[in-house]
Amino acid sequence: MANSNFIDYIKIYCRSGKGGAGSTHFRREKYLPKGGPDGGDGGKGGDIILKGNSHMWTLLHLRYTRHLRAENGEPGGAQRSTGANGKDIVIEVPLGTIARNAVTGEVMGEITEHGQTVTLLKGGRGGLGNDHFKSSTNQAPKYAQPGEEGEEAEVILELKVLADVGLVGFPNAGKSTLLSVISAAKPKIANYPFTTLTPNLGIVPYRDNRSFVMADIPGIIEGAAEGKGLGLRFLRHIERNSVLLFLIPIDTDDIKKEYEILLKELQKYNPELLDKKRVLAISKSDMLDDELIEEVKKSLPEGIPAVFISSVANKGLQELKDKLWEALNAED
């Protein structure tokens, strides 16, 4: 994973700008040697802002970013002139990015739409100039407010892929092949475990020019919830999917047992995942004739719609899309 271009976890120290100090200036002109206070206000410090960009798929561009410091506000000037505001720092991130405080774990913001912005840290307010403090009893105040300090925090940016359907299965179950056949995605495909090291997204065309997004997520192994294999690096991506598509090859020794292992790993990671709608696809079903498939049906897990498919033979794929569309649009 170290050399992957898919980066889904970044930690950055962020600091917003300090507000500029107010001015203690007095008006001094040739014919007005004792003019009143005219010190201006300090400028506001720059914010740290998160912004959604639908053209991004990874946090790779932030890989070597360790510190982000927004500009401080400028101090106020003479003739009640306000200091310039500090420049904001805008961090563009893919949709599905969550920002957390690294110390407290508190969610600071979540980006789900293109152009959406979330202010993570606000810049300090500029101090008021001495012009604000004159009164009938104090015509010449010699003080002004200092600018407010900015905020600072270690921020964790975590990407959870946004997709309608998440493919769940053991390594080499045929997830990448299925995605490549029913969408325009071109994931890496080979006959060995963990071919998929990063999530792949594909847009699946459906009837009447409709479509939905499917994510091929790295395969689960037993113990994934404890961090074994690719572990937590991929389980977070399943959280955002509306429907989970379990893919199990027909030549598996015990389909029901394999399904229960997958379910158990999801439950250990986040019990709420079990509330999502599920569909079961039995892949590589072109290997058996109809009579053997009928035998296999008797041993399938209960309570989940199942479809027998073959990505290579283009078998059952329309039925599978129908089942997924039905699950996506079913009322809770």
* Predicted pLDDT at 237: 67
Taking residues 118-136, report their average pLDDT.
93
User: What residue ranges do the domains of the chain occupy?
Assistant: 1-159, 165-329
On whether the CB atoms of residues 215 and 209 are closer than 8 A, the answer is: no
CA separation for the pair 173, 182 (Å, rounded):
16
pLDDT tens per residue across span 142-196: 889 999 999 999 999 988 776 788 888 887 777 778 888 888 655 444 444 333 4
Taking residues 8-18, report their average pLDDT.
93
Topology of 165-329 in CATH? Rossmann fold (3.40.50)
Which residue in 243, 241, 250 sits closest to 281, CA to CA? 250
Partnered with residue 49 across adjacent β-strands are 90, 119
Structure tokens at 214: 């499917």
* Predicted pLDDT at 2: 38
* Predicted pLDDT at 231: 42
Share the mean pLDDT of the chain: 84
Residues 6+ apart with CB under 8 A from 80: 38, 39, 40, 129, 131
CA separation for the pair 165, 246 (Å, rounded):
10
pLDDT tens per residue across span 258-290: 999 888 888 887 788 888 899 999 998 888 788
Taking residues 185-210, report their average pLDDT.
62
pLDDT band, very low/low/confident/very high, at 218 (cuts 50, 70, 90):
low
What's the pTM value of the predicted model, to 2 decimals?
A: 0.64
For residue 224, pLDDT over 50 is answered with no
Question: Which of 68-82, 196-210, 260-274, 290-304: highest mean pLDDT?
Answer: 68-82
Q: Which residue has the tokens 């080979």?
A: 190
For residue 46, pLDDT over 90 is answered with yes
Taking residues 282-311, report their average pLDDT.
87
CATH of 1-159, one of 1.10.3720.10, 2.60.40.10, 2.70.210.12, 3.40.50.300: 2.70.210.12
On whether the CB atoms of residues 260 and 294 are closer than 8 A, the answer is: no
